Amino acid sequence: MIAQGKEKGKTQVSRKTTDGGTPVEESSSENGSFLTDLGYRAVLDLLPCYVSIQDAALRILFTNSQFEKDFGPGVGRICHEVYKKTAEKCPLCPVQRSFSDQKPHLSEETVRLSSGEWADLAVYSAPITDIFGNVRAVIEMSGNITKLKENHKELAFLGQSVAVVSHDIKNILEGLQGGAYVVDEGIKDDDMKLAGKGWNVVKRNIADITAITQNILYASKKRFSKYQEIYLEDLIDDVVNLFEKKAEDMSVNLEVKTNPALPGVRVDPPGIRRMLNNVLLNALEACKADKENRFHKVTVRTDFYDKRHFMIEVEDNGTGMDDATREKIFKGFYSTKGDAGTGLGLHVVDKVVMGHGGRVEILTMPSKGTTFRVILPMR
């Protein structure tokens, strides 16, 4: 039981135990004394956020330890020089607004940590006034919401991806059901040729839904690459073998040209495989969409780009692209195929290549074809 009373201007709190122990009395004045001895600096250092106090010139008067840990020493420096490494003030500076109207303010800011990383902050500012009500300084507290925004972005992208590809998934599921029915009928009639045709339909639809699912995962979720040394020729052969039947069905000649002098390279094999799958599929579909040429060919090449980089090229003589299309192809959900495309494939290509510290060059001309040149660093 807790009882409260006052004695000589002090608030006292007595706590009585009910288990037979000795009653314990604690004075709130003693707690206050403890906090005074601890000091406001120690209390602010315990906060899991960045705290600074600034004057009207935006000069930092105080920072807590969390601030110093991620931004370095700040006292005596101008806030935007510390936060953003720039001489320009923030357009809607919450500290200046608190000085102006003597009210608290909220904002979101993108800042640069001392490590060089960019971070998103939720910022709260409040005026510190003297006994006459004059604002002498402003305290600014901010929390790092980078991870929260990344998670929100991933969930939003995932939801949009599912909405975009739902029609494709529906068609694939109907294809699986149709293929399974043909397989069942073939087995029932002891007609293995018919069952084989049905099984090919099933395999094709499984491959399609696998590609869609992997693209959604690659596009919507941040992956951590696991590098290992591989011989690029082996990976290229594996991927090309998967597309040989599709290329044959499309009447496209598929060929590989690799430089045997290319040494082992350190890459993230699943990422490079997904990237190459998407570029190769895009090339085949560009050939299929081209009604002008009678002979279509897709060539996959690997070679040195320079002394510090290697390259993977996929060249087709399909429809090609104009400048406006080329500028948009890496944006999520942008597709030139209408309902037949998800707009995720080349977005994933760009994400994988950027994750490897590389770049993509596109050589294209309408009605002439396209070459995707992926340039990656030798590791």
Cα–Cα distance list, 218 to 142, 257, 283 (Å):
31, 28, 20
Q: Which residues pair with 26 in a beta bridge?
A: 13
What is the rounded CA–CA span in Å between residue 29 and residue 221? 53
What is the rounded CA–CA span in Å between residue 77 and residue 84? 12
Burial status of residue 175 (CB atoms within 10 A of its CB: 0-12, 13-18, 19 or more): middle
- What token pair was written down for 153? 């972005």
What is the rounded CA–CA span in Å between residue 285 and residue 316? 10
- What token pair was written down for 175? 């294809």
In sequence order, what are the residues at sequence separation of 6 or more whose Cβ sits closer than 8 angstroms to the Cβ of residue 88? 80
- Strands of the chain (E only): list them: 2-7, 10-15, 24-27, 50-54, 60-63, 105-112, 118-129, 135-144, 228-230, 252-258, 265-267, 296-306, 309-316, 359-365, 369-377
What is the rounded CA–CA span in Å between residue 17 and residue 156? 53
Q: What is the dihedral of CA 182, 185, 190, 196, to 10 degrees?
A: 10
H or E element in which residue 78 lies: none
Identify the CA nearest to 314 among candidates 360, 356, 376, 271: 360
Cα–Cα distance list, 13 to 7, 8, 35, 307 (Å):
11, 14, 17, 76
β 135-144/228-230 pair status: unpaired
Vertex 348, ends 346 and 352: CA angle to 5°?
A: 120
Amino acid at 143: G
What is the rounded CA–CA span in Å between residue 315 and residue 369? 7
What is the rounded CA–CA span in Å between residue 214 and residue 306? 32
- Phi and psi at residue 125, to the nearest 5°: -125, 145
What per-residue confidence (pLDDT) applies to 269?
A: 87
Residue 133's CB is within 10 A of a number of other CB atoms, namely 8
Q: Which residues pair with 54 in a beta bridge?
A: 60, 138
Q: Which residues pair with 252 in a beta bridge?
A: 296
What is the rounded CA–CA span in Å between residue 262 and residue 285? 29
The separation between the first and the last C-alpha atoms of the chain, rounded to the nearest angstrom, is: 69
Burial status of residue 217 (CB atoms within 10 A of its CB: 0-12, 13-18, 19 or more): middle
What per-residue confidence (pLDDT) applies to 7?
A: 38
pTM above 0.85, yes or no: no
Q: Tens-digit pLDDT profile for the chain (379 aa)?
A: 334 343 333 333 333 434 444 443 444 445 445 445 556 777 788 888 999 999 999 999 999 999 999 999 999 999 999 998 888 888 889 999 999 999 999 998 999 998 888 899 999 999 999 888 899 999 999 999 888 877 776 666 666 556 555 656 766 777 788 878 888 888 888 888 888 888 887 887 787 777 767 766 666 566 667 889 988 899 998 888 888 888 888 899 999 999 989 999 999 888 888 888 888 888 998 898 888 888 999 999 999 999 899 999 999 998 888 888 777 776 655 455 554 555 566 777 888 888 888 998 989 888 888 999 999 998 7
What per-residue confidence (pLDDT) applies to 349?
A: 84
Q: What's the residue count for the chain? A: 379
What is the rounded CA–CA span in Å between residue 350 and residue 335? 14
- What token pair was written down for 258? 């690799």
The angle, 0 to 180 degrees and rounded to 10, between the axes of the packed helices 269-289 and 345-355 is: 140
What is the rounded CA–CA span in Å between residue 360 and residue 346? 11
What is the rounded CA–CA span in Å between residue 105 and residue 94? 6
